Amino acid sequence: MGRSPSPCVSNNYKRKRSRSRSRSRDRDRHKIKKTSASASTSKSIEEDFSFTNYKRDLNKIILYSNESNTVVNNLDDFWVFLKKYEATLRKAGKPIIDYGPEENRDDTSQIFSKFDCINFKTSIKYVDTVYHDHKRGKLDKKLFQAFLNIVSIYLDFKNKEKFDKLRKLRQAQKDLPVAKYRDEIVAAVKNERVVVVAGDTGCGKSTQVPQYLHEAGFESIACTQPRRIACVSLSKRVAYEMLTQFESKVGYQIRFEKSKTADTKICFITEGLLLRQMSSENLPNYDVIILDEVHERHLMGDFLLGILKCLIHTRNDIKLVLMSATINIKLFEDYFSAESAVVIQVPGRLFPIQLHYKPILIDDKPTRDDRLDPQPYVQVMQLIDSKYPRNERGDLLIFLSGVQEITTICDAAQQYAEKSKNWIVLPLHSGLSLAEQDKVFDYPPEGVRKCIVSTNIAETSVTIDGIRFVVDSGKVKEMSYDSTTKIQRLKEFWISKASADQRKGRAGRTGPGVCYRIYSQEQFNDMDDFSTPEVSRVPLASLLLLMSSLGVSDVRRFPFLDTPPEDAVENALLELKQHGALTSNEKLTALGKALANLPVEVCLAKTLVLGAATLPPHKLDSALALAAALGIRSIYTTRAHRDFECENARTPDESDHGDPLTLLSLYCAWLREKRDTRGGRAWCRRRGIEEQRLYELTKLAAQLRSLLQSSNLMETPEPESMSSAERALRHGQVKQLKDARRQFKQKAANDLKRKKRLKMSSWEIVDENANDDDDFDIRDVEFRLTNDAQRIQSLIAGSSTSSGRDLVMLKLVLCRALYPQVAVADGFNHHKSVAEQLYHTWSKPFVFLHPTSYFGKQSKILQLSEADILSDMRELNAVGYEGKLPVSSKHQILCYLSLLETTKPYIVNSMRMPAAQTLLLLAHSIDTNIGFTRRE
């Protein structure tokens, strides 16, 4: 039997349990008091507490929490998140200060917390520093921990946001029509030498095919584009899709600019640069060459096709891929029939497009001045406003023929936009800077549409999302060339049916669209099927010289896709012989080899070679700058010659010797402005000059200098000596400039990730006198990285023609290179007005001075004064003189760069020279009568 406990033991046990319960109650009461006090303290802290009050010091923790690595890339974005986070917690009645899992669990707890998933470690030294600085501000270490927890939540949020974007991106790639043909394209490239991908608009071939081939194992891919903007935009997009924005796996290479490195696997490159690489490197590094937009039939693109057609027979390791949206498949199949080209047709992803011919009643009667009437285009904008609600998204894309037409329509559209407040008007053409071109990709505010007024650059080279409406003028401006008269004609033509369909397709990429054609169905039916290739309508001298330098033995038998006109080839060969680039047997001379290495026109390249041989070394910069100025686009803006204030501002820097010397003088004045004020943009704007062109001029001159040095035509100067103080100063400047460039690229990469919004002020007129030189300009940063103060001063000294001898020598070098491009005044000019002054060239008589040229406005300087005439005409006629011009030793002729016909045939970029001395010095032969009273 069990023994029952004694009463004493039982009573002791009860007393112990009672005391234990009492102590437990005391502890609970104490704990409740402590918790209540803590809660009261926490509540008092949170009533007015916000981490934003300590923003300046807390940034130290965010920026340097891992000693040297920045955890939060965008501080502004983080603080916006924190404000919203605190506001959300207050609205929900939850505490702002969350100390994390350590305050809510003991050491043995295994409860999972979201804070355990954050890879975030704080540098203690910064926490201690900020803690001690803010003891009196009651910001203790626990509050720091709470702040770090918010940072952790932010990072977790951003990661989820990135993964969501990535998921959508990958899904969008899978939804592209070209994705269904991925395996077929890769297999064809692996097994065949030539593959043709004919993909409709919006199928994704330009961005996806290079990625497919890279993922299939091809390590070096070149993708050509006809335009620079396409190279840059495509490389950025492909790098974004491959998650390599901060690497160099995807790069681009255009004139004066590149992001390509030794690690680049996919390079978007212009056709001309790839040809230059072929002439020097024979393409040793490329596994695949993709020729995109081959339907545009550019001169260099067609030549590249012929070169690669020959190259694939000598190199078995290279593959050729041709891509285009609209393509004459039969033409390319026949061209590559010997190579058994495989054709893969990829359908587009076009939504239904409503097509309207002549949506607005248009008067077809020709006007007296043939100026473009902007009213039909403005009326289409009004039609869209009245028919489609503002909350329905959809932008407008207008196709016009040229820059002048774009300016006309933009001016009228902006006036309407200011009244309606429904539009942001943006121009788009290749003459704009990359930053200005990029604006068309930004998003307008809610309820506002973009009106993009573009040349044919937006047909294929640039894809703009959100386009719902397209207005097609049906016109394009193209340059044609008469090889007999040596005159270029800039004329407006009807586009082809293929181009019209391409323009229409831009309206149906992202949803149902509408295309308004400002022409009739009958006019469309009369259009050509495809555009005329450039090889049939441009000068061929530079191309034939390049072909000879590449080893093409007989240029007449070169396998062009379309054979160029026979007379154009023969006249180009004759021109090269006149310049001494080819022998009479059409073999490349030493001079021709030197000219072929310089990426400018033959006559400008000859200017450099002659300058290197005759000018003093310290004055060769003037020839380099002159050739570069004539080798780039015009430096003048559209308002330069119609704004009286701009013309007056340029007057002090104009040269009465002609347009080439005026360009050189303006360039030197700009360099002095960069030296003295470290500015330039406002200076250029006041004079109607596009500063981007002056940066290009500087880069081209530097490139030409490097090529002359590598060809041993110019000595490489010794680096200028610098004191230790100057070296330290320059080192600091370079460091600051590189930091600024790095920050700009970082910002550009971040901008690519997020949507950029256009401001309603985009249509406002810019203050032309505003001084914005204090604003950041990446072009100025790049300029100063390669040109320090000493270099700028050296450029000014070398490019200036301060002495008369320097000026005469430079003019003589340029004139010798341009010869026989000279113009002689008509005998009756002294009876005519400035606008009617006529000149005669050896290839084209009766040409005019261009109205925007220096002599077109100041032709009196070309006329003889009474004191310059040597004798009375009646006395001269008595001794057999038959000329109509007065006899004088002061007659002048014009040396010119080119002839251009728009409304009339004009002399372009002319320079005056003494007639008798120049012709006697440069003429190949002199014909005269028996009495020496007439010379020809």
A 10 A CB-CB count for 4 gives: 7
Residue 683 predicted with pLDDT over 90: yes
Cα separation, 629 vs 617, in Å, equals 20
Cα separation, 664 vs 686, in Å, equals 18
DSSP result, 64-84? HTBTTB-S-S-HHHHHHHHHH
Residue 58 predicted with pLDDT over 70: yes
Quote the pLDDT of residue 9.
44
DSSP 711: T
Cα separation, 313 vs 338, in Å, equals 10
Residue 768 predicted with pLDDT over 50: no
**Are the C-beta atoms of 564 and 540 separated by less than 8 Å?**
yes
Coil, strand, or helix at residue 524? helix
Phi, psi for residue 450 in degrees, rounded to 5: -90, 140
Quote the pLDDT of residue 357.
92
For 11, the token pair is 């009573």
Helix 55-64 × helix 141-175 angle, to 10°: 60
Burial 902-918 (b: 16+ CB within 10 A, else e): eeebbbbbbbbbbbeeb
Helix 915-922 × helix 804-818 angle, to 10°: 50
A 10 A CB-CB count for 746 gives: 14
Average pLDDT over all residues of the chain: 82
User: For residue range 571-602, what is the model confidence (pLDDT) as tens digits?
Assistant: 999 999 999 999 999 999 999 999 998 989 99
Q: Using alpha carbons only, what angle is made at residue 434 by residues 428 and 438, rounded to the nearest 5 degrees?
A: 60
Cα separation, 885 vs 891, in Å, equals 9
User: For residue range 141-179, what is the model confidence (pLDDT) as tens digits?
Assistant: 677 777 777 888 888 888 888 888 888 888 988 988 899
User: For residue range 383-404, what is the model confidence (pLDDT) as tens digits?
Assistant: 999 999 988 889 999 999 988 8
Report how far Cα 470 is from the mean position of its chain's Cα atoms.
Answer: 24
User: For residue range 860-874, what is the model confidence (pLDDT) as tens digits?
Assistant: 888 877 777 766 656
User: For residue range 536-571, what is the model confidence (pLDDT) as tens digits?
Assistant: 989 999 999 999 998 888 899 999 988 999 999 999
Coil, strand, or helix at residue 28? helix
DSSP bridge partners of 517: 357, 472
User: For residue range 197-213, what is the model confidence (pLDDT) as tens digits?
Assistant: 988 777 889 999 999 99
Cα separation, 186 vs 180, in Å, equals 12
Quote the pLDDT of residue 1.
45
